[in-house]
Amino acid sequence: MSSVTALVIEDEADIRKLLSMAINRMGIDCHVAANLEEARHLLADARYQVCLTDMKLPDGNGVDFVRYIQSVQPDLPVAVVSAHGNMEAAVEAMKNGAFDFVSKPVDIHLLRKLITTAIATHATAANDARTQPHSSVPATHGGTPITHGRAGTHALVGDSPPIQNLRKMILKLARSNAPVWITGESGTGKELIARLIHTNSARAAAPFVPINCGAIPSELMESELFGHKKGSFTGAMQDHDGLFLQAEGGTLFLDEVAELPLHMQVKLLRVIQEKSLRRVGDTQEQITDVRILSASHKDLSAEVEAGRFRHDLYYRLNVITLTAPSLASRASDLPQLIRHFLNNMTNGTHQASITLDDAARTALNQYAFPGNVRELENILERALAMTEGNTIRVEDLGPLNITSTNHLLPDDLQKTHRHDSPSNGAVHTQSPNRDINKETIVATLEHTRWNRKQAAEQLGMTYRQLRYRIQQLGIISSDKSD
Ligand SMILES: Nc1ncnc2c1ncn2[C@@H]1O[C@H](COP(=O)(O)OP(=O)(O)OP(=O)(O)O)[C@@H](O)[C@H]1O
Ligand SMILES: [Mg+2]
C-alpha cells in the first residue's frame, strides 16, 4: 500500500478519471470528489499529501477551496487546474496560497512533475514540523538564524521585527511554486532572500541559477535563457542548454528583471504560462519545471506605466511580492551584522579578534546606509584594510555621508584621489549605483591591461580592496572573457 494519498476535485467524470489514473500510475493513492462538499468530507476523514482542484465546481470555486484548505490544513499543497489561457484564475489561486497551477488540457508529464514537487514539499514541511515542534519559524541564535535543515550557508542575519517577519515569509514561500517578486532598495539582500527561498524549498537539491538580466546582451538573451541547437545561428557550434534547462527542477532567479528587453519579455511570459520552452533553432518544445523568482530595485509598476515592462508579465512574476527591508528600518540588527561581517572577513587571518572603538560604533549607528547591508559590508571591508591594529577607529570608516557618485572615469578618479585621503575607497564602495562602480573598475583594469596593482593605485583603492571588489562583482569571469 502506498503511504501517499492525493485528493482530486473535478466535476467532469472523464477528466477526474484521467487525473486519478495518472496519479495512480505514479504509485500514489488517489481519492476523488466531484464537488467541494464531498471534498470537505474526505478532508475531514483522511490525511492527504497533495490536492488538485478544478477551478469551477458546481458548489463553489477553486480559490475559495484553496482558502478553506489554508485554514484547516495549511501544510497541504493544493494545485489548481485552470482553463487554458485563464492565467488570471491561476494567479488569483496562487495569491491565495495555491502551491501551483496546471492548465487544461492537462499535460501528464507536467502533472507528474508538479505532484512530485508537491509531495516533496509536503514531506519537507512535515519534517520541519517534527524538528521544530513549537513553531514553524526556526529559532534564531546568536546571529545565525534560519537553523533550518537545508539552509544555513547564506544565513539572514538579524532579529529585528522586519527580519523576523521576512524569515517567516521566506519559509512560507519556500513551500510554494508561485513566482515571487522581491523588491527593495539596493543592497538589502534580495539575492540572499531568493537563495534562502530556494534552499529552504523541496527544490534545494537542484540548482539555484541567478541571472542578471541587465548583464546579458540583448541579442544573446534568448539563446542564453532557453538554449540553442547546433547550427541555429553563426557561432552555435554545438547544442547548448540555456539557463532554464540548467535550473531544471530548481529555481531561476531573474535579477534586475526590469532590464529584460521587450522581445524577451514576450518569450518569458510564454514559458511561464506554458511551462515549456523551445531552444533557438529547435522544433521540439520541452517541458520545464523551474520556479521563477525575480528582483529589481526599480519600481516595476512604474516601468509598466512607462511602457517599458509588459503588464501581463509583471502580473505573472509578481504573484507574490516580498519586500526586503532597508537597513535603516532595522537599525537594531547593526551590531549582529557588524559582528557577522567582521567574523567572515577575518576568518582564518591574524585579525581574528577585531573590534570597533566607541566612536566608530557611534558613527555607524548614526549613519543612514543608503546602500544598505552591502554598503555596511563594504565600509567594514575598507576599514579592515585601513586599520593598523585590531581596533577599527572612526577614521578607518571613511566619510559616511556620500550619497551620490557621478560617472567617474578613471582619469577623473585619479584626480579625485590625488590626495590619498581616507575617502578614496568610500567613493567606490558607497556608490548607490554599483553598475557605475563596475564599469569604472573594468575600464581601469582595461586601461592598465589588467594589472590589478596599478589599477588599484589609479582607483585609489588598496590592492586587497580591488581584489575583493573584482571577486564580489564577478568581473574576471564575465567581463574579461568576452
Ligand atoms: N540580513 C542579512 N544578513 C546577512 N547578510 C546580508 C543580509 N542582507 C544582505 N546581506 C549581504 O549583503 C550583501 C548584499 O546582498 P544582496 O546581493 O542579496 O543584495 P541585493 O538587494 O540583491 O543588492 P542589489 O540591489 O545591489 O542587487 C550580500 O553580501 C549579502 O550576503
Ligand atoms: Mg542583487
The string of pLDDT tens digits covering residues 155-181 is 799 999 999 999 999 999 999 999 999
Name all domains of the chain by residue range, CATH numbers in brackets: 5-131 (3.40.50.2300), 161-323 (3.40.50.300), 328-479 (1.10.8.60)
Q: Which amino acid is at 401?
A: N
Q: Is the pLDDT of residue 289 over 90?
A: yes
Q: Which of 246, 270, 327 is CA-nearest to residue 85?
A: 270
Q: In the chain, what is the greatest distance between 2 CA atoms, to the nearest angstrom?
A: 81
Whether residue 143 is predicted with pLDDT greater than 60 in this model: the reply is: no
Q: Which of 104-108, 211-215, 363-367, 383-387 has the lowest mean pLDDT?
A: 383-387
Of ligand 1's listed atoms, the one at least distance from the Cα of 158 is 1
* Cα of 335 from ligand 1 centre, angstroms: 16
The three cell numbers of residue 52 are 488538485
- Over residues 259-274, mean pLDDT: 93
Distance CA 401, CA 369 (A): 9
446 vs 163, residue with greater confidence: 163
**pLDDT at residue number 160:** 93
**Whole-number Å distance between alpha carbons of 45 and 96:** 24
Q: Which of 160, 167, 186, 188 to mutate to test the pocket of ligand 1 (most atoms within 8 A of CB)?
A: 188
pLDDT mean across residues, the chain = 82
Per-residue three-class SS string for 142-195: CCCCCCCCCCCCCCCCCCCHHHHHHHHHHHHHCCCCCCEEEECCCCCCHHHHHH
Residues with CB under 6 A from ligand 1: 156-158, 184, 186-192, 297, 324, 340, 373-374, 377, 434
Q: What is the pLDDT of residue 129?
A: 59
Q: What is the rounded distance in angstroms from the CA atom of residue 114 to the CA atom of residue 259?
A: 30
Q: What is the pLDDT of residues 207-217, one digit of tens each?
A: 999 999 988 88
Q: How confident is the model at residue 351 (pLDDT cuts 50, 70, 90)?
A: low
Taking residues 23-52, what's their average pLDDT? 96
Q: Which triple of cell numbers denotes residue 37?
A: 462538499
CA of 188 to the centre of ligand 1 (A): 5
C-alpha torsion 273→274→280→285, nearest 10: 170
> Is the confidence at residue 203, as pLDDT, over 90?
yes
Distance 275 CA to ligand 2 centre (A): 26
Nearest CA to ligand 1 atom 15: 189
Q: Which residues surround ligand 2, an ion (CB under 5 A)?
A: 190-191
Inform me whether the pLDDT recorded for 335 exceeds 70.
Answer: yes
Q: How large a percentage of the chain has pLDDT more than 70?
A: 83
Q: Which of 211-225, 248-262, 398-412 has the highest mean pLDDT?
A: 248-262
Return d(Cα 354, Cα 343) in angstroms, integer.
Answer: 8
Q: State pLDDT tens for residues 378-425.
A: 999 989 888 888 899 998 998 774 443 322 223 333 233 322 333 333
CB 144 within 8 A of CB 155: yes
Candidate from 9-18, 140-149, 325-334 with smallest mean pLDDT: 140-149
Please give the pLDDT value at position 317.
Answer: 96
Ligand 1 atom nearest the C-alpha of 373 is: 12
Pairing label, strands 5-9, 100-103: unpaired
* C-alpha cell recorded at residue 32: 476523488
Residues 409 and 455 sit within 8 Å (Cβ to Cβ): no
Secondary structure class of 82 (helix, strand, coil): strand
Residue 153 has pLDDT above 90, yes or no: no
| Whole-number Å distance between alpha carbons of 148 and 231 | 46
| Residue with more model confidence, 296 or 449 | 296
CA distance 310 to 299: 13
User: Collapsing DSSP states into helix, strand and coil, what is residue 274?
Assistant: helix
Distance of alpha carbon 279 from alpha carbon 372, whole angstroms: 39
144 pLDDT above the threshold of 60: no
Query: For position 387, what pLDDT does the model report?
Result: 85
Q: Which amino acid is at 199?
A: T
Q: Is the distance from CB of 223 to CB of 236 less than 8 angstroms?
A: yes
DSSP three-state, residue 262: helix
Q: Cα(130)–Cα(122) distance, rounded to whole angstroms?
A: 12
Q: Which pLDDT score, from 0 to 100, does residue 415 have? A: 32
Q: Mean pLDDT check: name the lowest of 115-119, 180-184, 477-481.
A: 477-481
The better pLDDT of the pair 385, 127 is held by: 385
Residue 339: pLDDT band with limits 50, 70, 90: very high
Nearest residue by C-alpha to atom 31 in ligand 1: 192
Interatomic CA distance for residues 428 and 438, integer angstroms: 9
Query: Is residue 445 very low, low, confident or very high in pLDDT (cuts 50, 70, 90)?
Result: confident
- The pick from 374, 428, 431, 468 for probing ligand 1's pocket by mutation, whose C-beta has the most ligand atoms within 8 angstroms, reads 374
pLDDT at residue 438 tops 90: no
Residue 187 CA, ligand 2 centroid: distance in Å: 7
Q: What's the pLDDT at 146?
A: 36
Least confident interval from 149-153, 201-205, 224-228, 466-470: 149-153
Q: What is the pLDDT of residue 443?
A: 82
Specify which residues 302 forms β-bridges with: none
Atom 10 of ligand 1, nearest CA residue: 189
Distance CA 177, CA 302 (A): 26
Which of 7-21, 216-230, 335-349, 380-394 is most confident?
A: 7-21
| Three-state secondary-structure class, residue 113 | helix
Dihedral (CA of 430, 434, 439, 443) sign: positive
**C-alpha pair distances (Å), 142 with each of 26, 154, 157, 325:** 44, 15, 9, 20
Confidence tier at 131 by pLDDT (50, 70, 90): low
**Ligand 1 nearest-atom number relative to CA 157:** 3
Looking at the CA of residue 186, tell me the nearest atom of ligand 1: 25
Closest Cα to atom 29 of ligand 1: 374
Confidence at residue 346, expressed as pLDDT on a 0 to 100 scale: 84
DSSP-based three-state secondary structure for 374: helix
